Amino acid sequence: MAFTFAAFCYMLALVLCAALIFFAIWHIIAFDELRTDFKSPIDQGNPVHALVLPEYSIHSLFCVMFLCAQQWLTLGLNMPLLFYHFWRYFHCPADSSELAYDPPAVMNADTLSYCQKEAWCKLAFYLLSFFYYLYCMIYTLVSS
């Protein structure tokens, strides 16, 4: 029973993961509203944009922490998403201020359904990782 750095990482990750789950749900709702014409992409895009960068930075933050804590398995599980985030970040249009969701393009049914799928997948991933972090936290606390 020891309060290691790893345990701290998992605790923090747990809290942050809850935030990410909230973000993902927010995205899902936002895109759904877009699809059903309740909002215009110009008005609506903004809260989404506001959440993209925090999401990316939170996720990279605990990736870095797991790296420091030498939790290789956890890090490995997070790697694909991390790379995906990097890819999105560097592939967005011009100024990157409109990060990822381009108002003129987002309403194309293809893009929209892609964004929706992405949000659902992320939600699933964050939910699973939430329980995984919970388990790992208890495990690290109990063991050692």
Partner 1 sequence: MEEQGSCIERKLLRAKRGPGGPAQSQMQVPSGYGLHHQNYIAASGHYSQGPGKMAASPLDGQCSDYYSGLYTPPAQKVAASSTASHEGAQQVYSGGPPAPPLLGAPPGLVPGASSTASLMHTSASQPYPSFVNYYSSPAVYTANSSAASQGFPATCHYSVSTVSNAVHPSVCYSSPPPGDPYTRVFTSQNALVAGSGREGSFPGQNAALSHPSALGPLPSQQHQQQQQQTLSGFNTLSWSVPGLPPAQDNLLRNHAGSVASASNSPAGPVAVSPAGPGMQNVPPPRPVSTVLPGAPSARGPPAGKYPQESAALGTQPSELTLQKGMQYGDYVNNQASSAPTPLSSTSDDEEEEEDEEAGVDSSSTTSSASPVPNSYDALEGGSYADMHSSSASSPAPDPAPDPDPVPAPTAPQSVRMAKPFGHGYPTLQPGYQNAAAPLTSGVQPSGPVAFQQYPQQYPGVNQLSSSLGGLSLQSSPQPESLRPVNLTQEKDVLPTTPVWAPVPNLNMDLKKLNCSPDSFRCTLTNIPQTQALLNKAKLPLGLLLHPFRDLTQLPVITSNTIVRCRSCRTYINPFVSFIDQRRWKCNLCYRVNDVPEEFMYNPLTRSYGEPHKRPEVQNSTVEFIASSDYMLRPPQPAVYLFVLDVSHNAVEAGYLTVLCQSLLENLDKLPGDSRTRIGFMTFDSTIHFYSLQEGLSQPQMLIVSDIDDVFLPTPDGLLVNLYESKELIKVLLNALPNMFTNTRETHSALGPALQAAFKLMSPTGGRVSVFQTQLPSLGAGLLQSREDPNQRSSTKVVQHLGPATDFYKKLALDCSGQQTAVDLFLLSSQYSDLASLACMSKYSAGCIYYYPSFHCTHNPSQAEKLQKDLKRYLTRKIGFEAVMRIRCTKGLSMHTFHGNFFVRSTDLLSLANINPDAGFAVQLSIEENLTDTSLVCFQTALLYTSSKGERRIRVHTLCLPVVSSLADVYAGVDVQAAVCLLANMAVDRSVSSSLSDARDALVNAVVDSLSAYGSTVSNFQHSGLIAPASLKLFPLYVLALLKQKAFRTGTSTRLDDRVYAMCQIKSQPLVHLMKMIHPNLYRIDRLTDEGAVHVNDRVVPQPPLLKLSAEKLTREGAFLMDCGSVFYIWIGNGCDSHFIEDVLGYPNFASVPQKMTHLPELDTLSSERTRSFLTWLRDSRPLSPVLHLVKDESPAKTEFFQHLVEDRTEAAFSYYEFLVHVQQQICK
Instruction: Give contact residues for partner 1 (rule: CB under 8 A).
Output: 34-38, 40-43, 93-95, 97-98, 103-105, 107-110, 112
Residues 6+ away with beta carbon under 8 Å from 106: 34, 41, 45, 112, 115
The gap between the terminal CA atoms of the chain, to the nearest Å, is: 6
Q: How far is the CB of 37 from partner 1 (least distance, A)?
A: 4
Q: How far is the CB of 76 from partner 1 (least distance, A)?
A: 31
Q: How far is the CB of 90 from partner 1 (least distance, A)?
A: 14
Residues 6+ away with beta carbon under 8 Å from 82: 59, 60, 63
How far is Cα 107 from Cα 113, in angstroms, rounded to an integer?
9
- When the beta carbons of 1 and 37 are compared against partner 1, the nearer one is 37
- When the beta carbons of 1 and 110 are compared against partner 1, the nearer one is 110
User: Could you give the residue ranges of the DSSP H alpha helices within 1-144?
Assistant: 5-35, 41-68, 72-90, 103-106, 109-142
- When the beta carbons of 44 and 71 are compared against partner 1, the nearer one is 44
- When the beta carbons of 45 and 126 are compared against partner 1, the nearer one is 45
Q: How far is the CB of 116 from partner 1 (least distance, A)?
A: 11
